[in-house]
Amino acid sequence: MILGTFRTQKNQINDLTQKRNLAVKPLSSAATFQPSCCTPQIAEPPVNMSGMPRQAITLSRYEVMVLLGGLIVLGCVRLVGMFLVPLTDTTEARYAEIARKMVETQDWITPQFDYQIPFWGKPPLHTWLSALGMELFGVNAFGARILIFTCAIVLLFLLFRWVRQNLGSGAGLCVVSVLSSSILFFGASAFVMTDLVLVFGTTLVMMSLWQAMCAEAPRSRAAWPAFVGLAIGLLAKGPVALVLCVIPIALWALLSGQTRSLLRVRWGTGALLTLLLALPWYVLAELKTPGFLNYFLVGEHFERFTVPDWQGDLYGSGHERPKGAIWADWTLAFLPWSLFLIPLILKPSRLKSAFVSDRSGWLLYLLCWSLSPMILFTLSANILAAYTLPSLPAASILIVCLYSVIWSGADQSIIRVCFAGGLLGILAVWTIMVTLAHVQPDALKLRSAKVLVSTLGQIDEDATLYYLGRRSYSGEFYTHGHAQVIPDLSQLNDHIQALAVPLHNEASDLEKIADDFERIGQFGRHVLFYRSLPASEVKQ
């Protein structure tokens, strides 16, 4: 691979296959991948479920220490960032405020967009995690993020264990290093939103189904975690989780000719398990707030992606983008490792040889898994970069596998240097950004009301903060739901003490309020104005 050396085990494989009287084609420059689900039926078990050497990638002690050290530093930086980086508008602060309202109201069935207004846009699993974190650690950014971060750590551990089982511990360590340091995964690993929890579910599905199709005994229990993962996906983001898993599985089965392998899975029993875990909440949600299923299934899962400039969003506006932009989003999301695709593309013959000699379909499985979000959203107009996140675990494994197969010997010295440079570079970037977010937040232009609310609290802890024009979710979170909104200055009355004016409104509105309010300062994208009032005039 990138850091280690790839050992071709041709002689060992030949010896084993001779014992089994199997004809194995000689290897060229690439290793042969042949899991048990794709081999002829024989009495003895296969070499291992991927047909690859257990130690296809070997790392020196120094290289292991470098990777482990990098992972520890990455984890520490992300952990510190959970404390220092404030919740920002719009996405993270909105979901954190929804979770805070869940804690406050103790309504664990229906997330609330505002008090008494249900949030039908997403299922509540990520909200449950954030709300539980705040129950345990207090209503703050750390509490909202900690269980999302825990979910990311568990995902990395499960991915490492799965890759180690199929390719060896060296490959597992490399894969985890690549995934955890990619831009989108690092950011999402402690970001209050749906996507990280969704990826946990879809990754569990894809790993478990592969193991089930490679199991010695057909229809084994190896697939059961897949249906648990599917339930997690359905409770995290809805039916899109099912689509993101069906696309790669169906493509792989058709392109590899391994459709019969799907029969090794107990689909009926698994579907019942998924329904048992996920369906009760959907039923309770519809009973509690009728109309949820129609909006969520038709609006959020069909019209959002098929209707340009979709106006049906009850909680904001559609994210209209040029069709096909999801591919550019993926390239940016997987930085710096997406740049490592360039050398692979420049070696088409070796790349083709790797896939052709892979009779198991392992590489094809990873490729289909990697491409599934782009296949699904290429023709969609309303997309976000976060939609590419489910592909990153597979892309990390695929790039490690391809480098270990295509490069060997002296070629790897350059690869090791590039890999180390990429890892150190991304570590430096994230360390600088987390530091700036705490020391000089305005340098990053973070859309957060944390400092504004803190400043107002030092001036008058009893003053109610009003926003001019539109609500601020971070303002609501940091005021524990007390921040209010006035649509325009005509609603300004004698009871309002603190007013946050959008920066672009200040010039036109300043003269109207300058006589009564003191300009406290600029905080991000808002300017805070304050005036003292006699206790009798303060609105209760």
Helix (H) or strand (E) holding 362: helix 362-377
What is this structure's pTM? 0.86
Residue 142 confidence (pLDDT) above 80: yes
Q: Which residue has the higher pLDDT, 215 or 23?
A: 215
In a domain? residue 75: yes
Residue 382 confidence (pLDDT) above 70: yes
Write out the two tokens for 421.
């440079």
Residue 18 confidence (pLDDT) above 50: no
Phi/psi at 327 (5° precision): -70, -40
Last residue of a domain, one of 388, 415, 439: 439
Shared-domain flag, residues 514 and 381: no
Shared-domain flag, residues 73 and 201: yes
Q: According to the model, what pLDDT value does residue 503 have? A: 81
Query: How confident is the prediction for the chain on average, in pLDDT?
Result: 83
Last residue of a domain, one of 386, 407, 439: 439
Shared-domain flag, residues 405 and 530: no
Q: Measuring CA to CA, which residue among 59, 84, 21, 26 is closest to residue 353?
A: 26
Shared-domain flag, residues 491 and 350: no
Q: Which residue has the higher pLDDT, 222 or 528?
A: 528
Quick one: pLDDT band at residue 432, thresholds 50, 70, 90?
A: confident
In a domain? residue 474: yes
Shared-domain flag, residues 97 and 232: yes
Number of residues in the chain = 540
Quick one: pLDDT band at residue 539, thresholds 50, 70, 90?
A: low
Q: According to the model, what pLDDT value does residue 524 have? A: 84
The amino acid that residue 516 corresponds to is: D
| pLDDT tens digits, one per residue of 454-498 | 999 999 988 999 999 889 999 999 999 999 999 888 888 888 899
Residue 373 confidence (pLDDT) above 90: yes
Shared-domain flag, residues 455 and 434: no
Quick one: pLDDT band at residue 188, thresholds 50, 70, 90?
A: very high
Shared-domain flag, residues 73 and 211: yes
> Are the CB atoms for 341 and 398 separated by under 8 Å?
no
Quick one: pLDDT band at residue 506, thresholds 50, 70, 90?
A: low
| pLDDT tens digits, one per residue of 307-333 | 666 666 777 665 667 888 999 999 999
Chain centre distance of CA 411: 33
In a domain? residue 49: no
Of 185-199, 377-391, 435-449, least confident by mean pLDDT is: 435-449
**How far is Cα 159 from Cα 164, in angstroms, rounded to an integer?**
8
Q: According to the model, what pLDDT value does residue 47 have? A: 28
Q: According to the model, what pLDDT value does residue 408 have? A: 63
**How far is Cα 207 from Cα 50, in angstroms, rounded to an integer?**
12
Shared-domain flag, residues 375 and 514: no
Mean pLDDT highest for which of 169-173, 225-229, 336-340, 347-351?
A: 225-229
Q: Which residue has the higher pLDDT, 174 or 220?
A: 174
Task: For 441-512, list the strands marked E by DSSP.
Answer: 465-468, 484-486, 498-502
> Are the CB atoms for 362 and 211 separated by under 8 Å?
no
Mapped onto helix, strand or coil, the DSSP state of residue 528 is strand
Q: According to the model, what pLDDT value does residue 492 have? A: 85
**How far is Cα 455 from Cα 523, in angstroms, rounded to an integer?**
9
Percentage with pLDDT > 70 across the chain: 81
User: Buried b / exposed e across 135-165, counting CB within 10 Å, b at 16+?
Assistant: eeeebbbbbbbbbbbebbeebbebbbebbbb
Task: For 282-393, list the strands marked E by DSSP.
Answer: none
**How far is Cα 186 from Cα 180, in angstroms, rounded to an integer?**
6
Domain housing 458: 450-537
Region 196-223 average pLDDT: 86
Last residue of a domain, one of 439, 471, 492: 439
Number of H helices, E strands in the chain: 22, 9
Quick one: pLDDT band at residue 49, thresholds 50, 70, 90?
A: very low
Q: Which residue has the higher pLDDT, 108 or 416?
A: 108
The residues with which 502 forms a beta bridge, in sequence order, are: 526
Write out the two tokens for 527.
């300017």
Quick one: pLDDT band at residue 352, thresholds 50, 70, 90?
A: confident
Task: For 397-464, list the strands marked E by DSSP.
Answer: none
**How far is Cα 44 from Cα 170, in angstroms, rounded to an integer?**
27
> Are the CB atoms for 78 and 189 separated by under 8 Å?
yes
In a domain? residue 296: no
In a domain? residue 21: no
Q: Which residue has the tokens 């950014």?
A: 141
